[in-house]
Structure 1
Amino acid sequence: MSNAPNKPNKYQQTVIVNVAVAVIHHKEQYLLGFRNATQHQGNRYEFVGGKIDTNESAEQAVIREVAEETGIATHNNAIVKLGRLHHDYGDKQVSLQVYKIELTAMQYEQHKNCQYGLEGQALTWVDKPDLLAEKYHLPAANKTILKWLSVPARIAITYPLTQFNAYSEPEAAWLQYHQKNLTRQTWVYVRVKDVTSKNMAAQLMHLRPDILAIVSPDDDSAFLEIEDSIKGINSHNQVVAHHLTHTALMQWFDNIQNISASEPLLSTTHPLILSCHDAASIHAANKLASVRLQQQRPPVIGAFLSPVLATQTHPDTEPLGWEVWSELAQLADIPIIGLGGLSPTMIDQALQYGGISVAGIRQFF
């Protein structure tokens, strides 16, 4: 019998390890473990988590893993799905199901000084800004999770330009209103549908260098074009994401199904936030998120899922309601943002039904 080592069979199916990940935090403090040098992706920090057992749901697994690794019982805590992602390390493929778990003040006080977990691993609490700035070396698959965590609990959306048609100079009135009324350092989706006003997003960012903006790629180009023409301006880093409408998302999805059609060019410079309204668009969003990861482009960091409730802007559109909205959110592989008839105070309700954030116009200024 030959003693030669077994060669890998090229037809052998790749084994994917299913992992539940717990992003544990109390306010702005996040818990990280440290992987031993002998482990896969060793000498790196990591979120708590582990393999999902047979006949165990991802949420059951994350509760069990947290208890086994840290001794923290989280079955009564708010557990919110962030998303799912697949990563190929070359020597190993993992499918991560990621949950965000907020500890109570009592739980945090009990565990904030624990330097080691129950399995002997080093534990440390880190500030969220330092975590998002990648000051802690995490496995490659975790970089997308950091982008997800950057999405705030509340996002403002600008009024349509038509709201200011009664003014002699609608664009000037639009700019003045938003410059004055936007909360400081907020994320704002600058939605100006008037094709003749593409530079309005750029002008607003110039007037309010503290805000972080979600814009269309066209608005982003306008920003670059006039950046040098207005003095005393903040940098292009104000743009945190590009927005893809429901129509553009479905067009992209339809095109990739047609092998004769060329793939539409999407932003390669910024993360994406999408608009979804139903199961079909959630499916398309999941596909796009997967493609972005495979192509190592900035990830999809969220999707506006709307309308949750009835809105003044679209009074004839049938709202999803919280129950249907929640069912759709569970289908998503990316974080879900509630939109439509919501107020900032509804964030707890959105978390309860599977979202991570709420967005809106009238009540967010």
Structure 2
Amino acid sequence: MTTVREIHVAVGVIFREGKVLIARRPDHVHQGGLLEFPGGKVEAGETVQQALVREIFEETGLRIAPEALEPVIEVRHDYGDKRVFLDVWEASSAEGIPEGREGQKVRWVEVGKLADSDFPAANRPIIRALRLPRQYAITGAAAGVEAYLEQLEQALHSAGPELCLLRAPELSDDTYAQLAAWSLESCIANNVKLMLHGAPSLLEQFPGACGLHLPWHQARQHSVRPVSGDYLLAVSCHSAEEIAHATQLQADFITLGPVRPTPSHPGASGMGWNRFQELVAASGVPVYALGGLSLPDIAEARSRGGQGVAGISFWWPST
């Protein structure tokens, strides 16, 4: 049996005025004709930052300082005839005017207009990571539905998250549905995207939501993605096995924790940042760190390969 060697590829996401630089792959190469982010193979003896600085200059003429690069995501993908490890980094400062020095067409594109079908399959998690915010706000406890709505309104106005999860496992299905209807109205009015927590049927009731977050006991019941690609799909994970299952479901992102001990899970020890980093490296999807974290922990989560942090305390009003 022939072993297919994994190719380490440095990928650069270059931002300028809210847009990212993309190029079209030449027709004669692997995945030819599709779009790609600039970058190339990491050569022996190079760091990924050195490879990106070299490749981006060779391909586009742009100059980037190695210290300006920040990690985005690591993606491993098997095309059958080729296995790639995409080591993705971003930069918001690059000197020069880009040009296709290898005959490729280059242009700036808004992140919201990046389409999966225009890129090789391995790029799907990259596009998700670029579209997702650094913080994932989760609703906390409240003394009844009316108090829930009052606290939600307060949190939306004071914290202004981009993405919010309506999590209320203590409520009955009917009460949660009532709360979801009112919460969706508030989130839309405040330009906040709302994720629902529970079974896929919730999206049939509330198609205006942006997606569904499956708790693990729901996720384990499915073997294929249970919602259409028009919606985001998230999964709560706590182990490598659960992450593998979420990947099988083609989750757009996951939450992983607890990283630190939390009052909501007394007696449960946190996995720590080192274990979090190990699990993220093997995940291939955007991962939010969860458990005992606050907004200042975003930098640590990012340095460990995570998308950012998810949680309640950093935005939800205390009762």
Q: TM-score, normalised by structure 2?
A: 0.79
Gaps of 5+ in 2: none
Q: Say which of 77, 80, 102 aligns to 1:86.
A: 77
After superposition, where does 1:100-111 map in structure 2 within 5 Å? 100-104=89-93, 108=94, 110-111=95-96
Q: Is the 8 A contact 1:156 1:189 kept in 2?
A: yes
The runs of at least 4 aligned residues of structure 1 exceeding 6 Å deviation read 54-60
Q: Against the structure 1 CA distance between its residues 143 and 332, is the aligned structure 2 distance closer, same or farther, given a 3 Å change threshold?
A: closer
CA drift of 1:335 comes to: 1.8
Note the C-alpha offset of 1:194: 2.2
After superposition, residues 244-263 of structure 1 pair within 5 angstroms as: 244-249=214-219, 251=220
Q: Name the structure 2 match of 1:194.
A: 170
| Residue in structure 1 matching 2:204, options 207, 224, 227 | 224
Kindly state the Cα deviation for residue 361 of structure 1 after the two structures are TM-superposed: 1.0
1:315-340 superposed Cα distances (whole Å, 9 cap, x missing partner):
43322333333333223222221112
Give the SS at the match of 2:252. Answer: strand
1:206 aligns with 2:182: no
Q: Aligned in 2, Cα 1:224/1:332: closer, same or farther, shift over 3 Å?
A: closer
CA contact (8 A) 1:306 1:320 kept: yes
Structure 2 partner of 1:180: 154
Instruction: Kindly report the root-mean-square deviation, in angstroms, between the aligned alpha carbons of the 2 structures.
Output: 3.3
Cross-structure match for 1:267: 226
Structure 1 residues 356, 35: closer, same or farther in 2, change over 3 A?
A: same
Deviation string, structure 1 residues 131-159 (Cα, Å, up to 9, x no partner):
3xx39933344344322322211111001
Worse-superposed segment, 350-359 or 33-42: 33-42
**Contiguous gaps of at least 5 residues in structure 1:** 1-11, 165-169, 228-235, 253-262, 293-298
Give the C-alpha shift of residue 87 in structure 1: 5.1
Rg (Cα) greater in structure: 1
Taking the TM superposition and a 5 Å limit, the aligned residue runs for 1:1-365 are 13=2, 15=4, 18-26=7-15, 28-51=18-41, 62=52, 65-70=55-60, 72-73=63-64, 75-86=66-77, 88=79, 92-104=81-93, 108=94, 110-111=95-96, 113-117=97-101, 119-131=102-114, 134=115, 137-160=118-141, 163-164=142-143, 170-182=144-156, 183-184=159-160, 186-196=162-172, 197-199=175-177, 200-209=179-188, 210-218=191-199, 221-222=201-202, 224-225=204-205, 236-240=207-211, 242-249=212-219, 251=220, 264=223, 267-269=226-228, 270-277=231-238, 281-289=239-247, 291-292=248-249, 299-365=250-316
Kindly state the Cα deviation for residue 187 of structure 1 after the two structures are TM-superposed.
0.4
TM-score, with length taken from structure 1: 0.70
Tell me how many residue pairs correspond in the alignment: 305
Identity of aligned residues (%): 25
The whole-number CA distance in structure 2 between the counterparts of 1:352 and 1:312 is 26
